[in-house]
Amino acid sequence: MIPEFIDTWQMSEPGKLARTRIPMPALQAGDVVVEIKGCGVCHTDLSYFYMGVPTVQKPPLSLGHEISGVVIGGQAGLIGKEVIIPAVLPCGECDLCQGGRGNRCLAQKMPGNSMGIYGGFSSHIVVQSKFLCLVENRKDIPLEHLAVIADAVTTPYQAAVRAKLGAGDLVVVVGAAGGVGSFMVQVAKGMGARLVVGIDVNAEKLQKMESFGADATLNPRGLSSKELKEQFKAIAKAAGVSSNTGWKIFECTGTKSGQESALSLLSFVGMLVVVGYGTDETSYMLSKLMAFDAEIIGTWGCTPDKYPAVLEMCLDGRIQLAPFVETRPMSQIEQVFDQAHHGQLKRRVILTPDFN
């Protein structure tokens, strides 16, 4: 039965959360109601909440865009189906969508930002059924864990596709121990990268990545650019590969220091893919791109059509979720936001609704 109201945690204004109840919207053609089982806490949510990054829908609104759940209303054939709701919902009709770049559709909708007041830190959400990623035979993986596919895992996958990453590639992941970077490492290895070098300042979490796809790790804390490159050169030499040709570098931190590390390693016929978001400016001599015949590209979100492939990588074990996530009751949202903002979380938190 479809409830009359949605229980939710709304951002009443940046820096303030309030538990409230809002009316269930009237269903339009193609709509389904999803009972939310889990919603991941993303750095993007923190940017809206703490850093004043503007949302398309002005507050009050419910944040949260990494959502998994069960269909309870709408199309009869989908009732009872377990689903993941993509974080980016393109229009499918504009030139960008028609040209295969729907992930950057300018008319896209995003739960917790531009889909009205509705987001994932809620009991339910209404979404168009055509966007859903159906979950079949998830084995022993909790449905709530699959919520992080809707950004933390699919965003790295889109970045890998954008970079044309394939078997035998040489890969660097800057921010390899972070919420997105840890999955970027796994995606790269799962797609056949020959050598994946993880770079991060968190020594404990970086060492962990050696068991999840990182062939070598490098902690840049306290290192000059020259010293970083020397250590990277030693890693490449030990692996029997060149340190200055053909590397695909994924910058996942969005920080100035991370971007500077990534730029320092960009060399001949290399590629830097900007995955992480930050507000600091970084300087770079663009003529180096000409001299190196190199590329710097950005990537945004992931189109819904790629979700089944990413889900399959999670189900077959190429991407491990459990070691990198934890669940907490949604009533702890304020505490979790604060801990995430101050870098006190060791895993990506998935909030599970507990409004009863």
**pLDDT tens digits, one per residue of 256-289:** 999 999 999 999 999 999 999 888 999 999 999 9
Q: First-to-last CA distance in the chain?
A: 16
- The dihedrals phi and psi of 215, each to the nearest 5 degrees, come to -75, -25
For domain 5-29+72-150+304-352, the CATH class is alpha beta
Q: Which amino acid, one-letter code, is at 23?
A: P
pLDDT in tens, 165-207: 999 999 999 999 999 999 999 999 999 999 999 999 999 999 9
154-298 shares the fold of 5-29+72-150+304-352: no
Q: What pLDDT, on the 0 to 100 scale, is given for residue 133?
A: 98
Q: What pLDDT, on the 0 to 100 scale, is given for residue 196?
A: 98
pTM for this model (two decimals): 0.95
Q: What pLDDT, on the 0 to 100 scale, is given for residue 52?
A: 87
Residue 342: is its pLDDT beyond 90? yes
Residue 158: is its pLDDT beyond 90? yes
CATH number attached to the domain at 154-298: 3.40.50.720
Report the number of secondary-structure helices (H) and strands (E) in the chain: 10, 16
Q: How many residues does the chain have?
A: 356
Residue 315 sits at the vertex; the CA angle it makes with 303 and 147, to the nearest 5 degrees, is 55
Residue 26: is its pLDDT beyond 90? yes
Contact 21, 5 (CB under 8 A): yes
Residue 192's Cβ-count burial label (10 Å; 0-12, 13-18, 19+) is: exposed
Contact 147, 38 (CB under 8 A): yes
Q: What pLDDT, on the 0 to 100 scale, is given for residue 139?
A: 87
Residue 91: is its pLDDT beyond 90? yes
Q: What pLDDT, on the 0 to 100 scale, is given for residue 21?
A: 97
Q: What pLDDT, on the 0 to 100 scale, is given for residue 1?
A: 85
Q: What pLDDT, on the 0 to 100 scale, is given for residue 356?
A: 85
pLDDT in tens, 212-250: 999 999 999 999 999 999 999 999 999 999 999 999 999
Omega before 86 cis (within 30°)? no
pLDDT in tens, 2-24: 999 999 999 999 999 999 999 99
Average pLDDT value for residue range 134-148: 96
Q: What is the average pLDDT score of the chain?
A: 96
What is the distance of C-alpha 32 from the center of its chain?
Answer: 24
What is the residue extent of each domain of the chain? 5-29+72-150+304-352, 154-298
Q: What pLDDT, on the 0 to 100 scale, is given for residue 278?
A: 85
The DSSP annotation for 104-148 comes to G-TT-B-TTTTSTT--SSBSEEEEEGGG-EE----TTS-GGGGGG
